[in-house]
Structure 1
Amino acid sequence: MANRILVTGATGNIGLQIVKQLSVLGENVRAAVHSAKNVPIIKEAGAEPVELDFNRPETLRDAFRGIEKVYLLTPLVPNMVEMGAHLVEEAKKGGVKYIVRSSGLGADIEPGITLSRWHREIEKMIEASGIPYTFLRPNSFMQNYANLFGYTIKTQNAFYLPVGDGKAALVDVRDIAAAAAAVLTKSGHENRAYNLTGPEALSNHEVAEILSKVTGRKINYVNVSEDDARRGMREAGMPEVIVEALIELYAIQRAGYTAALSPDVERVTGKKPMSFNQFATDYVEAFK
């Protein structure tokens, strides 16, 4: 039986959740991995692993062979747009009939911040390809608090961000995955874009209160300066262009531009999006 759906970025935050949800639905899934060490994770999730290495073009051809639909996710790296271009070109060559793109909230706002412009460039490539598409544009992920800030929450009872009192309508990656699974398996979503948010806009002070309640100990949000945030990201080894792109993202959150709520998660999945309290309860071990 030929594989029908290819998921790129299959071991990341969103990708692995999509692989799991599609497998539960009985779909035939091929999941792209960069490293052989991730093969067992994909097999456990119920999909066929396939190597995808941008430095080896033949792996792209093999990954797309026999594929009808693609969930196209690219990592946050300086050459993200170039990666997207290679994937779209390979989709055209392989006769792919439908692309679901993991984009970002605000990609349609011009001129937009750097991350939005990168996402929109890839969206435009997909539009120009002639392949039917759906763009999923999620807000920032709830899971970032576990994956990026979990260590300091565990060890210092605190997390650090330069966003002041700004609010964001954070979305759970499980809801993003549910939306992706829905548009990949049901018709009627072609050539549309959906903004994916959670059910509430929260400040990081409110996030800290929820984490405190769920963990049973006082968790503090520490508002840091942009310079301190830059320093921390540089010390973590982030490329300078990514550091500055994230500083831009934090600035629009601080200004309140990420607080708008969207009904699209429920519109696409038929279910209300998960609250941050639900996320924190489910992921409580990441904070202990």
Structure 2
Amino acid sequence: MRFATVEEPGGAVRCGVVDGDTLLRLPEGTSVLELLRSGTLLDAGAAAGDPISLAGLRLLPPVEAPTVRDFAAFEEHVEGIAGAVDDAWYAAPTFYFTNPYGLVGAHDDVAVPPGCERLDFELEVAAVIGVAGSDLTPGEARHHIAGYTILNDWSARDLQFREMAVRLGPCKGKDFATTLGPFLVTADEVEPHRDADGFLSLGMTVAVNGTEIGRDLLSNMSWPFEDLVAYASRGTEVRPGDVLGSGTCGNGGCLAELWGRGRDLPPLVPGDVVTMTVDGLGTIANTVVAGADPRPIPVARRRGRRRPSGPTTT
């Protein structure tokens, strides 16, 4: 099944099961997140009805994610960004937490974040957790994935690289927008695309203003999603609705990879339309719009250190 969350004319938010160009709405007050938490997502089709055309409805992120982890699971992407892949990268599927408040829908406008002059996209797929768990094995983790959706990890590269130079982040270079959509496609629908090595073999493409920039296979991940979920659960929990991004695919999954390989492509500017398509998951398309100017914050002060008076303890 495919689940969508929409904003109807007048502002009402509803979710339902997608049937072609129609949304079979679930009862008012139902949300995809609550279906996941109650373990009734796959049973929801029996209650779906009250059809409405998807045309003219605003597609919201299909699930209101409590947390969003984003991995870096494509070796080719890391190689293009960094020039070489450090041995530490191969040891574990690392990730960072991004901002669940920054989630935007499949066709929402995306504003240039304050102070950014090098805006970029990142073509990814995300797994959505359906069953809570901790310290999972990869074999166990497969049964904790409810489904998949497309993820665009919008990136302010100039902000990102500056803040990561202090060995933290990314923070403001990433937290302004993350597209999820168009739908949450349940794991059983994607399973036939699994290859002999256990990876999901889905074609992925990204275009800017109708010109294709990147094309890859999801199966080029260096770890399958089960490994990502297992690692995320180590020493903690994954819970229903949590989103885990694959990281950016290779072969032009973002501009920064192509910049690293010597391609002279311009960063995104207002008016650009970024379109991403993944086999079996659908298409998202967001238009870049002008954003706000940054409100000034002073640079850090440089001064000598003072200490409280009194004896020094050891």
Shorter-chain TM-score: what band? under 0.3
Larger Rg: 2
Higher relative contact order (CA 8 A, sep 6+): 2
TM-score (norm 1): 0.27
TM-score (norm 2): 0.25
Larger strand percent: 2
